[in-house]
Structure 1
Amino acid sequence: MPTLLRSPTSKSRLLSPFLISGFRTLVTTCRAVLLPHFGGPEVLQLRSDVPVPILKPHEVLVRTRAVSINPLDTRMRSGYGRSIFEPLLPVILGRDISGEVAAVGSSVRSVSVGDEVFGALHPTAVRGTYADYAILSEEELSAKPVSLSHVEASAIPFAALTAWRALKSTARIREGQRVLVIGGGGAVGYAAVQLSVASGCHVATTCGSQSIEKLLAAGAEQAVDYTTEGIEFKIKGKFDAVLDTIGVPDTERIGIYLLNRGGHYMTLQGEAASLTDRYGLVLGLPFSTGVLLQKQLKYRFSHAIEYWWTYMRADSEGLEEIRRLCEAEKLKIPVEKTFPITQVREAHDAKDKNLIPGKVVLEFD
């Protein structure tokens, strides 16, 4: 449990005081799940004495109620992004969050103490949300949709913002355009289908057979089993934007083939992290930039299309649109199973073994 100190004066605003049970207090330590080194679920450590940093002016302290497990969490735990994160160990995993505002920095205006909020951290954040108290910037948070529980809300921001950045910020999809989502059965793909439908686009997707009905119900006009041979010939027509959540050579080939001239191909499986892991930060980052530029020029001249590696990035406009769509029941990401934070190892183990294909959420008491 967090360690609480009574604040002696109102001047302690600088140290992010907030009210609990009528007393002005400070959070100095709290429970958090630490990743001390890379490995399997067994390396995760739930500690009760993890320091809570002092808030910067633009930051918000959130009392965590629920966080979801994203593929990035399990990959980071296993060593993905090693060249970036290893010098910073131990780190705290977790990107999504839903909870209540416990304190705000001096320049924060959009949220207040006591507000229920949801949001997500950037992929490279080292103090994640697997903690009783998490720190996010103001732009990384929005009011929690009132129609959703904390568990339901925590499943949405990271996946939906990843899809939003690709489709709305990069491809700038608009009403009447055709969008293909390769891998629509996962959280990002499912969010992408719903965002595209809400934008008035005509949507097709590939997915496993178990997801076809769900995606058609979400508004996709065509959902094709990805195990079908000659899948590019089963999908009807050409597209203005393709979001590839799988990102293997075969899906890249199919996505490029199905694009209209001037269209956008966006893959979630960019090579920046893997190349920096292979060659180190000093060589890997410029090398990955060169690889991306080479591909962009290649496809621009050979197919007249735009090629992108796409990642989640905090965007207050995007998160607010996501909140509105959730309120309007036009966007949801179902939660398949919840675990208490004390069973974080079991939850990661279940995801590693694909025992739970859908969203898993960790709850805080």
Structure 2
Amino acid sequence: MRWLLRKRNGEAFIRIGNKWKLGFVECNRTVVTSCRAVLLPRFGGPEVLELRDNAQVPDLKSNEVLVRARAVSVNPLDTRMRSGYGRSLFEPLLPLILGRDISGEVAALGGSVRSFSVGQEVFGALHPTALRGTYTDYAVLAEDELTSKPASISHVEASAIPFAALTAWRALRSTARIKNGQRVLVVGGGGAVGFSAIQLAVAAGCHVSTTCGGESVDRLLAAGAEQAVDYTTEDYEVAIKGYFDTVLDTIGVPETERIGINLLKRGGHYMTLQGEAASLTDRYGLAIGLPLATTALIKKQIQYRYSHGIEYWWTYMRADAEGLDEIGRLAKAGKLKIPVEKTFPITQVREAHEAKDKRLIQGKVVLDFDELKPTDHEPVQ
């Protein structure tokens, strides 16, 4: 195990950073009772984030795993939640701990967990609505939200993968059920979800086209896309030829929805990441907003089945043990990776969020629990 344990007067102390925290040892499992965590006490800018030393670690349920974080990534969902996205659901429950992705080591196991052992390196992601996230020395995840981390990739690299890849997995594999030989269009392939979707579709034997900014064209072609159209210089409605079995739209504005649906074969699937459930519940509250969102989705599904003969979906990340295991296998084989542009130590979480808010960093940002200063990564060739 990579953390230190010290016993004194019958009590156990675990080293976290430069401090020793009171914990206990049970059945050869080292368990910490409090640790550092980044708390969100109220919604706002990066300045509202607070790194505290005494956040409580909850008792594990039988199916849960305590993970000693080595790296966690910063997702768009994190910065949006910090700013108030999902307010109707989360505001009564403040303070929250942000973060969904994690890579680290198993520190303790719930009684029914059989897939992992203490000290094992794992990575995974929490559900979007989890209240206690991963911006903490010790995170709690369900057994099916974790898988073994490949030894061939670092914790920083691993932490960038699961939330984005599981979002793409649910759309392509669970909803559209893509098959070998089918054609897949990814609108917005330069982001983490889009890039994951390209690699998952290629691994499934699909022919992939994508749209992206000019800086991403070479990277997406290298990942296996057969066509990468720079939307800033080309009219991709004209440049992309033929029709597709599946369209995953990571942008989700009316124009991309219109084009994506018009490029689908009859019986195809259109999926967008920009569903209206959260915005409508934030505007009208859960009691009114959720039924309104359901009605809006059903209306569009009926409309497009009638007018185009296609299936229309809002897609979100969810835990999927089968998908996460496959993601781990692809990552181990070098067939699924998400480049990390910059790492920050967890103590500089405000700076990391500010850089993403101001678009100073376009690529993936990771909070490293071992780094002492920000680190720029080599550009992906």
Query: 1:205 offset after TM fit, Å?
Result: 0.1
Residue of structure 2 equivalent to 1:18: 29
Range 301-310 or range 223-232, more displaced: 223-232
Out of 347, 353, 358, the position equivalent to 2:358 is 353
Contact kept, 8 Å, 2:277 with 2:293, in 1: the verdict is: yes
1:1-365 to 2 correspondences below 5 Å: 1=16, 3-7=21-25, 18-19=29-30, 26-228=31-233, 230-365=235-370
Q: 1-side partners of 2:275 and 2:24: how far apart?
A: 47
Q: 2-side partners of 1:106 and 1:198: how far apart?
A: 36
Query: Structure 1: which 5+ runs fail to align?
Result: 20-25
1:295-326 Cα deviation digits (max 9, x unpaired): 00000111000000000000000000001111
The code of the aligned residue for 1:5 comes to G
RMSD: 1.0
Q: 1-side partners of 2:310 and 2:141: how far apart?
A: 36
Query: 1:226 offset after TM fit, Å?
Result: 1.4
Query: 1:146 offset after TM fit, Å?
Result: 1.2
TM-score by length of 1: 0.95
The code of the aligned residue for 2:225 comes to A
Residue of structure 2 equivalent to 1:23: none
1:111-156 Cα deviation digits (max 9, x unpaired): 1111000000000001000000000000000000110000000000
Query: 1:222 offset after TM fit, Å?
Result: 0.5
1:157-194 Cα deviation digits (max 9, x unpaired): 00000000000000000000000000000000000000
Residue of structure 2 equivalent to 1:22: none
Query: 1:362 offset after TM fit, Å?
Result: 0.2
TM-score by length of 2: 0.91
Q: 1-side partners of 2:64 and 2:203: how far apart?
A: 31
SS, match of residue 131 in structure 2: coil
Query: Structure 2: which 5+ runs fail to align?
Result: 1-15, 371-381
Residue of structure 1 equivalent to 2:374: none
Q: 2-side partners of 1:94 and 1:208: how far apart?
A: 27
Q: Size of the alignment, in residue pairs?
A: 352
Q: 2-side partners of 1:306 and 1:184: how far apart?
A: 21
SS, match of residue 145 in structure 1: coil
| Aligned-pair identity (%) | 76
Contact kept, 8 Å, 2:24 with 2:32, in 1: the verdict is: no
Q: 1-side partners of 2:163 and 2:24: how far apart?
A: 35
SS, match of residue 33 in structure 2: strand
SS, match of residue 185 in structure 1: coil
Contact kept, 8 Å, 2:74 with 2:367, in 1: the verdict is: yes
